[in-house]
Structure 1
């Protein structure tokens, strides 16, 4: 029988800011500003936290100061993909941690338990069509266009959704990997996530007729009823029969050293003269360390994020809003 799945309703978000104008942002296609202050935005923007638009003079000053940077190092986080329908973990009210009790699988749990892998891939299988079909938004597209300028140096993203690549970015490090790739943990064989979907579909024909339940999670899966995964068959590595895993750095794992060294190099004063952080709380050390590294070298730090970040004390310029309110104007 087809399992019954849980649907998790969104919870309203409340995020406020000081010294800002309470006026609508230009995101009229995504946010419904007719709602009373503090209430949830429209369904299309349910993963974007509520915020108050900064004063126009604040926006202009931020952009003007950023214009003094000749070699820009950019770091993006989950906050830039919420407008593409992919939630983040930590946003007040609308992030996954605020809406659900679900926590992502750790690397140790995945590698140590056949049942954990079975549940992970069952959830990922159902979510894949929506995760795959997510499209870049204006922020992704604008950053890709920046590559035509000599003033753009390098992009590091903490996201695993592949939207920067879809938008056309090439000078890019995917710090935490990409959910569009799959890797064998034994022999390093790699394949596309889409090819694995075909393989899993052939092994699980009944699952192919199921609709994806509930909300998409930041890690590219959905929540299913406990025990539903017992009927799901796993695929082994086509090369060595080893364990297949998305090419993503799970919680509890480490970013490849080669990527870490490259990012330190790109964020150095020898290569960059300014850092722009977009849509990231910088809560995890994997991203925060590069901002800290740049700060120690007296590079100006520009941060655009609705909520607080771990690096706010390092910021030379800070603005509380969604990235798409700033990026297209740079």
Structure 2
């Protein structure tokens, strides 16, 4: 039986309401020791859609599972055609004010760490040095046969050469980096193998139906234990990969603060949820702390 990801969550009526006062976030940051846990919502202002917000991709798109990708060559063709097209846009995305604020908080010594559920690399592009990529990163590729890692830009060049003239118009871009294409648009797209062993290539990201490496989870658990406060930015916490850290923080009697416009699965564990857009909110918080954000180009990715 093909596994499908758990993608939906309906907020119960008894969740605490959100607030529009970001003061608790500023207070927590001023005390230091804050661990950031970010989700897709922090990247929407960079042009990357989220899964569950207004117009989220799950209303039209179900991410491919690990089981599909590994078992079905046609599924891999569809994935790489869509992902190759999506990468042309995804790879050009730039950090927004939210990413720059997190990097600025880190430079000021206010953070104990950053965990991101995103695969877009925008925290690093903004200047965050030690962000843990819980679900991996689209800018790396791994061979499922020999384990060799390579740069996504190298694979992109090989796919361009193997599929000259491939330029369909996608209906939309998705948070996992692929683009919405019909089977007709995918056509006879050619997938290229590993240059070392000829094996199957996969982006170095955790697919739905795949597990996060245990050592990465344990590292994140240690970060939660070492933190004074957990600050969730732009995540609905619908899937357990992020929610478990919120539950851990609550069990360890550490304050949990959430900045997310919509209710989240972690709200009942939080001191407060600030129901405001991330970029303006974190810019406001930075100003309250006397921190000026760098609006300049963060440099090449």
> Where does 1:59-78 land on structure 2 (aligned, <5 Å)?
59=22, 61-67=23-29, 69-78=31-40
Paired residue for 1:238, among 188, 195, 199?
A: 195
Paired residue for 2:56, among 83, 88, 95?
A: 95
- Residue in 1 that maps onto 2:44: 82
- Three-state SS of the structure 1 residue aligned to 2:128 is coil
Residue pair 1:75, 1:156 contacting (<8 A) in 2 also = yes
Instruction: Name the CA shift for 1:294/1:69 in 2 (closer, same or farther; >3 Å).
Output: farther
CA RMSD of aligned residues (A): 1.7
Number of residue pairs matched by the alignment: 270
Please state if 1:128 is matched with 2:90.
no
- Between structure 1 and structure 2, the one with the greater Rg is 1
Residue pair 1:147, 1:171 contacting (<8 A) in 2 also = no
- Residue in 2 that maps onto 1:262: 219
Tell me, in whole angstroms, the C-alpha distance in 2 between the residues paired with 1:124 and 1:134.
Answer: 15
Instruction: Name the CA shift for 1:235/1:311 in 2 (closer, same or farther; >3 Å).
Output: same
Residue pair 2:17, 2:273 contacting (<8 A) in 1 also = no
- Three-state SS of the structure 1 residue aligned to 2:142 is strand
Instruction: Name the CA shift for 1:315/1:246 in 2 (closer, same or farther; >3 Å).
Output: same
Residue pair 2:230, 2:257 contacting (<8 A) in 1 also = yes
Where do 5+ consecutive residues of structure 2 fail to align? 1-15, 287-301
Instruction: Name the CA shift for 1:64/1:220 in 2 (closer, same or farther; >3 Å).
Output: closer
Tell me, in whole angstroms, the C-alpha distance in 2 between the residues paired with 1:259 and 1:177.
Answer: 10
> Where does 1:167-206 land on structure 2 (aligned, <5 Å)?
167-206=126-165
Deviation at 1:324, TM superposition (A): 1.5
Please state if 1:307 is matched with 2:262.
yes
Where do 5+ consecutive residues of structure 1 fail to align? 1-17, 21-53
- Three-state SS of the structure 2 residue aligned to 1:199 is helix
Per the normalisation by structure 2, the TM-score is: 0.86
- Residue in 2 that maps onto 1:320: 275
Per the normalisation by structure 1, the TM-score is: 0.78
Tell me, in whole angstroms, the C-alpha distance in 2 between the residues paired with 1:90 and 1:122.
Answer: 24
Deviation at 1:19, TM superposition (A): 8.3
- Residue in 1 that maps onto 2:248: 293
Please state if 1:156 is matched with 2:115.
yes
Paired residue for 1:111, among 70, 84, 89?
A: 70
Deviation at 1:223, TM superposition (A): 1.2
Residue pair 1:69, 1:274 contacting (<8 A) in 2 also = no
Residue pair 2:143, 2:194 contacting (<8 A) in 1 also = yes
- Residue in 1 that maps onto 2:227: 272
Deviation at 1:71, TM superposition (A): 0.6
Instruction: Name the CA shift for 1:227/1:147 in 2 (closer, same or farther; >3 Å).
Output: same
